Structure 1
């Protein structure tokens, strides 16, 4: 995800389709893995990316769970 304000990022995530959320989660998890690998093998330029990527993953997971709960409520 590009550098955006948190509110803009939340709005963008809210517009994602379910498939897009899954794809973005995979991409971010791969990014986090790459960052961890770089941390072991070489010096990292921007160590704050760890937290940023983890927060983006959490935002996506939160949106996915909110949709699951909303769907359960709609069917109940």
Structure 2
């Protein structure tokens, strides 16, 4: 019985530390969005948070074409 209690505690700790719960989830991979200032784009990683994925070249801005972000 103690084994199952310890296993349950370990599983709960792992889920909390790896972001497997939905408390901090921002997105569902694979998702891409323009940054708020349209200077580049973000990508959704496996734990459901957006990461900086790139910066648009000078003179361009991030815009959506067919629901995907592109620098134009």
Would the TM-score normalized by the shorter structure come out above 0.5? no
* Structure with higher RCO (Cα < 8 A, 6+ apart): 1
Larger % of helix: which? Answer: 1
Larger % of strand: which? Answer: 2
After TM superposition, the score normalised by the length of structure 2 is 0.28
